[in-house]
């Protein structure tokens, strides 16, 4: 009888059962060990979810089911990062309100996710545009304001004329808007809100080494992003005032021949003399804003400011230039230029005919001030450096710094590349910043008991920020003097919302406080965090920063939010390109579910490669997974429940050990190979234990059919609530394992011989008499795998067919082979 199977029916049935019986709902339980699994916070795009997105959730789901069966109390929540620019832009384009637009998108997202059979505790679901959530964004903001971490300053900002909003540095890619890839980003000076993440730079940097279970490349990217430099701050006197300069090369101080201040330095004009003023103003109006990533390629340009600096050691007077290759935001925004040993300075000196003075002499050649074609940046011995002459330059870095410190002319310092986090957005669809401006009292934070500051629903979308033109929103009484005042109309960067959501999942609807400390202590940190590499720097740094801030407030007791970070690969479409709507190569889960069943798709997604690798969707691949699933279904429909052989038991127990380890390490593909392998050994009759164990091992990958088959075996329970199998290692027979390996080797011998012959229909195998049963058992399997007709003889069989007398070559565990 051919098995009739309606995937859709089975899937819906079990999804409903799990939901109705609250199978994945969890509460804190001190007697159970917790495990927190989280996939990165999705932005609910209106185009919904394709199989590529689904991959991420399925990886988390497999792990969750495995951990639940292992007896952990597993928190696996889901919610939506629903504020942000895309919703606002799309809403404007389509004339729908962002709230309605987003909520519709979320409803669609949820229904799609539910069809994947995901093990979420849906009772914890929240969306960040819900005032009950963003109230606490505002509350954290107030705490940061209190501690001086949230602050306001006038700052040059990246402005996308198309988005009509400020962009974070990270949202500028090669000078263009990340969203509008053809739009040049402009620079504007605006009063902005910032979070002083730089105060945490050192901690964020140093603690990266504690993240033992994070991918090395992500850690390297974060280190690079935070950018720690050990160096020296040196004081130069200019016009009777001390100016600081940051250098990593104090050993070159005798080679400084000019200074360069950034064209965007806030105090630049203090240095510019009357005669030079016009030239400087013209220069700064002409050049582009200096960005660190552009410096290397940039044509180095500058103008003399008219001022001179005094080198603190040589007392020489050296000219101060304003230049385009010094960034305002790094170090002190001014450099000591050493053209002999820094390529940027070298290019500048060549262009403006400034002196080049060698102070580091390499061991193997002699540098000459006049003949250099590029800077010498390597190591060597100091020359032209007074009492430091002859010293190794690495030594000189320490010695000169010490000398400067003794004389009060400088000090050792550490410099970070990380910039303060600009959180102001001139946009509607974000968390309102809880600040009021009063002419009398200045900046006044909204009192805590007046939170949340609600984002008004009725606004007019025109150009720019709709809040800025909304009188009802703006006009407010000052909390201090009760006079007329104005609300801040900037909203927060949406990365704010995703910086602490994992904590709220522990206590999602608390109205009295941000979350209950005990509940958070129970669940945190996140044990496994699953998401794409694109979040390596922004989200994951902000997330770590919030954790550290909240720890200082005494709200959490963890330093780091995540123990293990798992980056999944990308899913590519049939055409080989990354699956995306714009490419038109997306596969939708509902289509797949209709055609193959979602269990088949889940199996396929993790079968062919480690989930860390990119995978390619293929109809033939998924057909292969479907064949396996059908085989399993047909098998369970026909199998006789009875006894399993010692061999099957050995295989089964070995598989338990290996599959558990594979899942634990996210080697899902290897687990599947072992499951398939195990299945091959099953006979017409197997014990109930064997059959049930197989279903349990398969469950994390194919949750629906395994629940179904579990019931068909007569169980009343949910398989997901069963215990993960534990191997009985005493049943793993070394003898059987050895025979398996022998048969495997025989198979390889046969294929090799066949390949050398270039043909063959029949294979004759000569085995020692006491091994004949083992090899006869394997006959069918060998025939199938080698596609040859196989004859097995004991070597002492008088009737054997053996034209080349091969039987005499047979050894224990190594049969002889003859092919014709």
- Interface residues with ligand ANZ (CB under 6 A) are 229, 246-249, 252, 326-327, 330-331, 333, 335-336, 338, 341-342, 415
For position 626 contacting Zn ion by CB under 5 A, the verdict is: no
Q: Do β-strands 435-438 and 484-487 pair in parallel, antiparallel, or remain unpaired? A: antiparallel
CB closer to Zn ion out of 231 and 445: 445
User: Pick from 99, 179, 398, 809: which binds Zn ion (CB under 5 A)?
Assistant: 179
- Residue 327 contact among ligand ANZ, Zn ion, none, beta carbon within 5 to 8 Å by kind: ligand ANZ
CB closer to ligand ANZ out of 247 and 491: 247
User: Pick from 337, 340, 467, 478: which binds Zn ion (CB under 5 A)?
Assistant: 478
CB closer to Zn ion out of 160 and 391: 160
Count CB-CB contacts under 10 A for residue 274: 7
The Cα–Cα gap between 15 and 110 comes to 13
For position 180 contacting Zn ion by CB under 5 A, the verdict is: yes
Confirm if 619 and 601 have CB atoms less than 8 A apart: no
CB closer to Zn ion out of 166 and 678: 166
Copy the structure tokens of residue 359: 């102070």
- Residue 179 contact among Zn ion, ligand ANZ, none, beta carbon within 5 to 8 Å by kind: Zn ion
- Residue 625 contact among ligand ANZ, Zn ion, none, beta carbon within 5 to 8 Å by kind: none
The Cα–Cα gap between 542 and 226 comes to 12
The Cα–Cα gap between 500 and 545 comes to 10
- Residue 441 contact among ligand ANZ, Zn ion, none, beta carbon within 5 to 8 Å by kind: Zn ion
- Residue 193 contact among Zn ion, ligand ANZ, none, beta carbon within 5 to 8 Å by kind: none
Give the position of tokens 């396996």.
628
- Residue 180 contact among Zn ion, ligand ANZ, none, beta carbon within 5 to 8 Å by kind: Zn ion
- Residue 481 contact among Zn ion, ligand ANZ, none, beta carbon within 5 to 8 Å by kind: Zn ion
CB closer to ligand ANZ out of 342 and 771: 342
Q: Which residues neighbour 333 within 8 Å (Cβ) at sequence distance 6 or greater?
A: 261, 262, 264, 265, 326, 327
Binding mask 425-444 for Zn ion (x = CB under 5 A): -------------x-xx---
The Cα–Cα gap between 200 and 187 comes to 27
CB closer to ligand ANZ out of 328 and 540: 328
For position 477 contacting Zn ion by CB under 5 A, the verdict is: no
Confirm if 536 and 222 have CB atoms less than 8 A apart: yes
CB closer to ligand ANZ out of 86 and 380: 380
Q: What is the DSSP string of 154-217?
A: EEEEEEETTTTEEE-GGGEETTEESSSTT-BPEEEEEEEEEE-GGGGHHHHHHGGGG-TBS-HH
- Residue 249 contact among ligand ANZ, Zn ion, none, beta carbon within 5 to 8 Å by kind: ligand ANZ
Nearest to 334 by CA among 277, 445, 227, 260: 260
Question: Please, what is the minimum distance in Å from the beta carbon of residue 341 to ligand ANZ?
Answer: 3
User: Pick from 127, 177, 356, 709: which binds Zn ion (CB under 5 A)?
Assistant: 177
Q: Binders of Zn ion among 152-171, rule CB under 5 A? A: 160, 162-163
The torsion angles phi and psi of 698, rounded to 5 degrees, stand at: -85, -20
Question: Please, what is the minimum distance in Å from the beta carbon of residue 273 to ligand ANZ?
Answer: 23
Give alpha helix (H) positions in 489-618.
501-504, 517-523, 538-552, 589-595, 598-607
At 321 the three-state DSSP class reads: strand
Question: Please, what is the minimum distance in Å from the beta carbon of residue 85 to Zn ion?
Answer: 9
Question: Please, what is the minimum distance in Å from the beta carbon of residue 152 to ligand ANZ?
Answer: 23
Question: Please, what is the minimum distance in Å from the beta carbon of residue 439 to Zn ion?
Answer: 7
Confirm if 78 and 113 have CB atoms less than 8 A apart: yes
Q: Do β-strands 228-238 and 410-416 pair in parallel, antiparallel, or remain unpaired? A: antiparallel
Cα 490 to the center of its chain, rounded Å:
28
- Residue 480 contact among Zn ion, ligand ANZ, none, beta carbon within 5 to 8 Å by kind: Zn ion
Copy the structure tokens of residue 363: 């061991």
The Cα–Cα gap between 15 and 598 comes to 12
Question: Please, what is the minimum distance in Å from the beta carbon of residue 401 to ligand ANZ?
Answer: 13
Copy the structure tokens of residue 543: 């997330």
Q: Which residues bind Zn ion (CB under 5 A)?
A: 160, 162-163, 177, 179-180, 438, 440-441, 478, 480-481, 483
């Amino acid at each position: 009888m051919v098995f009739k199977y309606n995937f859709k029916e089975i899937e819906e049935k079990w999804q409903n059962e799990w939901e109705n019986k609250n199978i994945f709902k969890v509460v804190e339980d001190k007697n159970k060990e917790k495990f927190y699994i989280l996939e990165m916070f999705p932005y609910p795009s209106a185009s919904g979810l394709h199989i590529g997105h689904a991959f991420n959730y399925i990886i988390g789901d497999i792990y969750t089911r495995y951990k639940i069966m292992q007896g952990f109390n597993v928190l696996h929540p889901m919610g939506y990062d629903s504020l942000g620019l895309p919703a606002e832009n799309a809403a404007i384009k389509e004339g729908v309100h962002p709230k309605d637009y987003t909520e519709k998108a979320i409803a669609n997202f949820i229904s799609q996710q539910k069809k994947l059979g995901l093990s979420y505790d849906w009772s914890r679901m929240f969306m960040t545009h819900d005032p009950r959530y963003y109230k606490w964004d505002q509350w954290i903001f107030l705490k940061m304001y209190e501690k001086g971490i949230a602050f306001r300053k006038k700052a040059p900002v990246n402005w996308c004329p198309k988005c009509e909003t400020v962009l974070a540095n990270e949202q500028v890619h090669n000078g263009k808007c990340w969203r509008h890839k053809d739009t040049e980003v402009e620079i504007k000076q605006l009063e902005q809100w910032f979070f002083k993440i730089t105060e945490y730079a050192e901690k964020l940097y140093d603690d990266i080494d504690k993240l033992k279970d994070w991918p090395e490349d992500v850690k390297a990217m974060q280190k690079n992003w935070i950018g720690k430099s050990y160096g020296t701050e040196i004081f130069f006197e200019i016009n009777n005032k001390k100016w600081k300069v940051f250098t990593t090369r104090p050993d070159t101080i005798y080679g400084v021949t000019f200074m360069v201040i950034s064209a965007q330095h806030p105090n630049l004009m203090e240095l510019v003399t009357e005669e030079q003023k016009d030239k400087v103003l013209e220069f700064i109006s002409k050049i582009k804003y200096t960005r660190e990533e552009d410096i290397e390629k940039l044509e180095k340009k500058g103008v003399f400011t008219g001022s001179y600096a005094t080198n603190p050691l040589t007392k020489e007077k050296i000219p101060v230039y304003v230049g385009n290759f010094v960034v305002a935001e790094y170090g002190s925004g001014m450099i000591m230029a050493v053209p002999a040993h820094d390529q940027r300075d070298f290019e500048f000196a060549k262009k403006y005919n400034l002196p080049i003075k060698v102070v580091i002499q390499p061991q193997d050649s002699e540098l000459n001030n006049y003949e250099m074609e590029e800077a010498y940046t390597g190591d060597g011995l100091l020359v032209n450096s007074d009492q430091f002459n002859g010293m190794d330059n690495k030594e000189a870095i320490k010695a000169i710094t010490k000398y400067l410190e003794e004389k009060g002319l400088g000090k050792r310092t550490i410099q970070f590349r990380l910039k303060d986090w600009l959180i102001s957005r001139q946009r509607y669809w974000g968390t309102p910043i809880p600040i009021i401006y009063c002419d009398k009292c200045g900046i006044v934070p909204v009192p805590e008991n007046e939170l949340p500051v609600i984002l008004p629903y009725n606004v007019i979308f025109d150009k720019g920020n709709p809040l800025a033109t909304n009188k009802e929103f703006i006009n407010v009484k000052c909390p201090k003097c009760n006079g007329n005042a104005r609300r801040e109309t900037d909203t927060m960067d949406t990365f704010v919302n995703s910086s602490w959501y994992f904590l709220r999942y522990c206590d999602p609807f608390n109205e009295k406080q941000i979350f209950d400390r005990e509940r958070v202590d129970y669940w945190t940190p996140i044990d496994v965090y699953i998401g794409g590499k694109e979040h390596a720097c922004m989200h994951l740094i902000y997330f770590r920063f919030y954790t550290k801030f909240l720890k200082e407030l005494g709200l959490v007791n963890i330093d780091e939010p995540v123990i293990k970070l798992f980056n999944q690969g990308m899913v590519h479409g049939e055409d080989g390109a990354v699956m995306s709507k714009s490419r038109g190569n997306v596969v939708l889960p509902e289509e797949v579910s209709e055609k193959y069943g979602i269990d088949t798709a889940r199996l396929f997604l993790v079968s062919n490669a480690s989930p860390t690798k990119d995978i390619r969707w293929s109809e033939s691949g998924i057909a292969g997974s479907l064949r396996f699933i059908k085989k399993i279904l047909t098998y369970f429909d026909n199998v006789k429940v009875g006894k399993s052989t010692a061999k099957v038991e050995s295989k089964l127990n070995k598989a338990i050990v290996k599959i558990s380890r594979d899942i634990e390490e996210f080697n899902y593909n290897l687990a599947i190979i072992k499951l398939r392998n195990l299945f091959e050994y099953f006979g017409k009759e197997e014990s109930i234990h064997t059959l049930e164990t197989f279903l349990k091992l398969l469950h994390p990958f194919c949750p629906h059919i395994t629940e179904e088959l579990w019931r068909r075996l007569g169980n009343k329970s949910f398989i997901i609530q069963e215990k993960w199998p534990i191997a009985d290692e005493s049943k793993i027979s070394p003898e059987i394992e050895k025979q398996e390996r022998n048969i495997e080797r025989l198979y390889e011998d046969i294929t090799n011989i066949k390949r050398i012959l270039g043909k063959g229909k029949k294979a004759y195998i000569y085995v020692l008499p006491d091994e004949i049963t083992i090899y006869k058992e394997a006959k069918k399997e060998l025939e199938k795998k080698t596609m040859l007709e196989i004859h097995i003889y004991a070597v002492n069989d008088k009737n054997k067919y053996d034209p080349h007398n091969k039987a005499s070559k047979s050894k224990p565990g190594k049969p002889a082979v003859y092919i014709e």
